[in-house]
Chains A and B, each alone.
Chain A
């Protein structure tokens, strides 16, 4: 199998989530390949736009749904701008899944705390849905989401629905909020004292800007959590997705292959060091 070779996939459905964010629901054209395709939450695909190039995008759908998989994409560059123009029925190229996903097995039987910042919540949506569909296997679920502007909050109705689930706490904050904002104004890290954390029995999973993640890590460590129980989804320039092209090298790791999900202990030495 050539890990560099994409395969044709078709857009089964497309949802505009916000002005710059959209979700593509995809299936491989080859039904045998679609049936064989298996991934774990936190893994990613390389999504290819014809004639333009590839971009690494995390998979947010449920891994046990066999017929489809979803990518939620924000317009940030050349490839994503082009992907945003595609419609239902259009084709693109997919190769994957790549990387190491979230530690869901380690989380079973324990409390799970999910912290996201900015618009970076897509990689953990897969985890939230995974846990809520298998609610009995996990302890208390805490979801913390911080955004800059109130209108940046994607899937507001989903957060509201999640908040009504049993044994689930949802904490949301916006640095700048408008009218009708029912949640906190300020940083999400202001609200840590609202969380009843059981530090020895919790797995924390987070994604978003590294500065935010470092602030959260500091708080969690301060409250007695182990660096082995705190997981971060890392981002770097990724081109090959198999640890060969060198762009995502981060100390001893290739983010694309050894991650993108790492325990804090694994990335701690260089995290926050400008230039790495």
Chain B
């Protein structure tokens, strides 16, 4: 049975929106918990009260954000089952254990200790509380590790194979899944981006305090910790960027070619298209400005390897689809009871391409009777829309380099003790607060939109993955989610702004600006 296009599109839209919304809160949690750990470590080592106040004040802002992160995270766990039932059946054997591990190792740790972080100040010794804060930070980062292993597997599905008895993918090597190169670079890239987000948040708000000459000692110390941690993190994001993951697997290669609007395979080393206007229909990029060699260096870490272009990759996809048709035909025979060795051998030869065969399900339920025109259509489907990827990728990169500049300036002026006399720098830092979010959201867009038409690259097409729902059900859930999320976002922003305006005076220690102290 072929699921309606509108249900597929609505399911995708809903997952995309809720995942991007969840990721408004995740990176700040990743970064803030580390910053809190650093601030509290300074407090425990020096005994200076102001560092405890910093931990508690920034902790308050972290708390508002954390509540939203928890709220929106549950949606995602529910949604795999509610909206992607066939996906859940098909890859639950790999995805499930990773999610369950996240529960055991990360969610329990962070959720159990977050209460002690907020309410345990007077009940724990200094060192005990510090330990709690650091474990909280590790908990949030473990969480990122497991879910990115799961996501990395969706981009580059290693350590697993199709079982024709159970009609699903099953895990064959945990080590391969864990050390999946795509997942590993994704993890480093993502948590470092989280540290950047936390740092930019603290840097920007501290700059606002400094601009208004409020709580200067408090703000100056926060500013310097954020600028140092931020610079180190933004360098990791850029240098250890996840570009290196784009050479693993066919679908990642197509994604890379789409990001670069690389229609043809050029002789190595390939040039990097700095800017231009990709045109999907004519398969070319107008007004392209190219930097020679750069793409080849980034993508292959060499000067003599080709970076394949979209047209060639599409041809390769079509030969995979043809092989997938054979696999599907043999699977059909086995299901009908023919388990002869000849069928089994033929299936095993082609089973790696079974997923490509499933791409044809969109056009013909039987798969094996696909026409040349349907093959060509399925081939086109393997190429994601180039322009959105091309542009969002560039927005991400520009945001990243802008932040590098901000953090470098901030740290330099911190080191020379001139930061609070540089209003331009402080204003720049305030206005840069949205940048890490822009970078993170566009980055995820590139990663996920660029994987289309797959949920599991090369294994399971998106249109096969959805639950068998009516569009009425989808509109109900979409309506509810959009309403709740809009109201909650307004409330969250209201509380954030309220506590930012109050500053450390919200701790009611009697030591800060609004309480009549400088």
A is bound by B: no
Which residues of A does B touch, CB under 8 Å?
none
